[in-house]
């Protein structure tokens, strides 16, 4: 095991979530002893995903107590004697700037072998597990996390600002999984429903991959203006679409979108991650229109690699960095969630150490 110097902390702070209606509790957790393939990663920045907001607002349920936050950018602080390797097979070292998949999968079970590691039978997810025992430090709302063995790690190029890189392992990678499901979009008429971070990212991906037109639906005018800056066509006249991507999770919006799906359309549902109303869908229509309908939840390690590469290539073309509209410290976590609820920004960021020595 690598010796860590006396100046390194023996414990780490984390904002523990005890359930909706409870304030966060700033707790200290001991530095875990590292097992083979593990590392301690200092959290540089963690953006709050919609699912974190839903959990805190009781629209979504998970185990408690827990340390939320999974859109994490970190720097390796300590590695075990057998260090973890990144997805290219290169061992991690102290100082490496990294992101990693939300999902830790076994790699052995039928689902892992069948191409759905995000549905592994022994799945665990950063920012979702119970804050107990030596694996307690698994969420980004903390000074550091324990990087677990078999995590899918990607090195993040220095040129990518923290705010751009943070959502790579959630929003961006999930969008990559959606495009993976639908295949090439060149020359296609694309409809994106919902202009949050996933919808905006999908708009940029469709544009950069040569879609004929990209139309964005969202009830909020500011979001539509933002969508134009991510490549949405202001004057898209297409009345039918070859590709429909839903990130809104609104049954009503999905039904409207299906009305304009053309023959042979590929339809991807991504946004419906909370309980929702049933969808009215006529099977004859699916058959006669030859529709392909995909459900996408999370992503594979290959999608995460694609996500970082997409951001590296295009972060200067599309204003990803502007989507983080406020930054808070760990000690300000209750205020941060309040701000996110009141103002509904695309993203806010938590930097554990701002305002603190
Ligand atoms: Zn997320
Ligand atoms: Zn598995």
Other beta carbons within 10 Å of 237: 8
Other beta carbons within 10 Å of 78: 22
pLDDT band at 59 (very low <50, low <70, confident <90, very high): confident
CATH class as words, domain 172-295: alpha beta
- In this prediction, what percent of the chain has a pLDDT beyond 70? 96
What is the 154 CA–ligand 2 centroid distance (Å)? 20
Ligand nearest to the CA of 71: 1
Architecture of domain 11-169+319-350: Alpha-Beta Complex (3.90)
With 90 as the cut, is the pLDDT of residue 235 above it? no
Peptide bond into 65 cis (omega under 30): yes
pLDDT tens readout for residues 74-120: 999 999 999 999 999 999 999 999 999 999 999 999 999 999 999 99
Could you tell me if 265 and 245 are in contact, meaning their C-beta atoms sit under 8 angstroms apart?
no
Higher pLDDT, 59 or 227: 227
> To which H or E segment does residue 267 belong?
strand 261-269
Identify the pLDDT of residue 357. 42
Could you tell me if 102 and 129 are in contact, meaning their C-beta atoms sit under 8 angstroms apart?
no
Average pLDDT, the chain: 94
Task: Write out the DSSP string of 103-166.
Answer: EE--S-SHHHHTT-GGG-TT-EETTTSBS-GGG---SSSBSEEEEPTT--EEE--TTS-HHHHG
What is the 113 CA–ligand 2 centroid distance (Å)? 7
pLDDT tens readout for residues 128-143: 999 999 999 999 999 9
Ligand nearest to the CA of 120: 2
What is the 62 CA–ligand 1 centroid distance (Å)? 13
Predicted structure pTM score:
0.94
With 80 as the cut, is the pLDDT of residue 220 above it? yes
Straight-line distance from the first to the last Cα atom of the chain, in angstroms, rounded to the nearest whole number? 29
Name the residue with tokens 């990559």: 176
**For the chain, domain boundaries:** 11-169+319-350, 172-295
Identify the pLDDT of residue 353. 82
pLDDT tens readout for residues 118-130: 999 999 999 999 9
Separation of alpha carbons 296 and 176, rounded Å? 10
pLDDT tens readout for residues 298-336: 999 999 999 999 999 999 999 999 999 999 999 999 999
Ligand nearest to the CA of 127: 1
Identify the pLDDT of residue 355. 66
With 50 as the cut, is the pLDDT of residue 2 above it? no
């Amino acid at each position: 095991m690598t010796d860590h110097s006396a100046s390194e902390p023996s414990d780490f702070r984390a904002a523990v979530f005890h359930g909706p209606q409870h304030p966060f509790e700033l707790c200290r957790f001991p530095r875990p002893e590292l097992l083979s393939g593990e590392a301690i990663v200092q959290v540089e920045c963690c953006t709050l995903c919609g699912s974190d907001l839903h959990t805190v607002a009781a629209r979504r349920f998970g185990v408690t107590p827990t340390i939320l936050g999974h859109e994490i950018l970190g720097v390796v602080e300590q590695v075990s004697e057998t260090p973890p390797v990144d997805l290219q097979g290169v061992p991690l070292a102290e100082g490496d700037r990294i992101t990693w998949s939300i999902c830790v999968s076994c790699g052995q079970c039928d689902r892992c072998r069948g191409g759905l590691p995000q549905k592994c039978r022994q799945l665990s997810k950063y920012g979702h597990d119970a804050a107990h025992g030596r694996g307690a430090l698994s969420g980004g709302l903390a000074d550091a996390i324990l990087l677990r063995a078999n995590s899918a790690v990607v090195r993040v190029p220095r040129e990518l600002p923290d705010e751009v890189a943070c959502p790579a392992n959630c929003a961006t990678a999930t969008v990559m999984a959606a495009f993976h499901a639908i295949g090439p979009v060149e020359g296609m008429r694309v409809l994106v429903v919902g202009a949050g971070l996933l919808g905006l990212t999908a708009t940029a991906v469709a544009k950069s991959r040569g879609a004929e037109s990209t139309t964005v639906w969202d009830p909020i005018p500011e979001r539509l203006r933002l969508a134009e800056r991510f490549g949405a066509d202001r004057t898209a006249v297409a009345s039918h679409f070859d590709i429909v991507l839903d990130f809104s999770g609104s049954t009503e919006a999905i039904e409207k979108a299906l009305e304009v799906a053309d023959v042979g359309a590929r339809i991807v549902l991504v946004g419906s991650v909370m309980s929702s109303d049933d969808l009215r869908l006529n099977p004859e229509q699916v058959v006669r229109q030859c529709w392909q309908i995909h459900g996408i939840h999370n992503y594979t390690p290959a999608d995460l690699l694609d996500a970082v590469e997409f951001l590296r290539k295009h972060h200067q073309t599309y204003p990803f960095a502007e989507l983080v509209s406020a930054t808070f410290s760990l000690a300000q976590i209750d205020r941060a969630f309040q701000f996110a609820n009141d103002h509904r920004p695309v993203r806010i960021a938590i930097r554990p150490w701002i305002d603190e020595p």
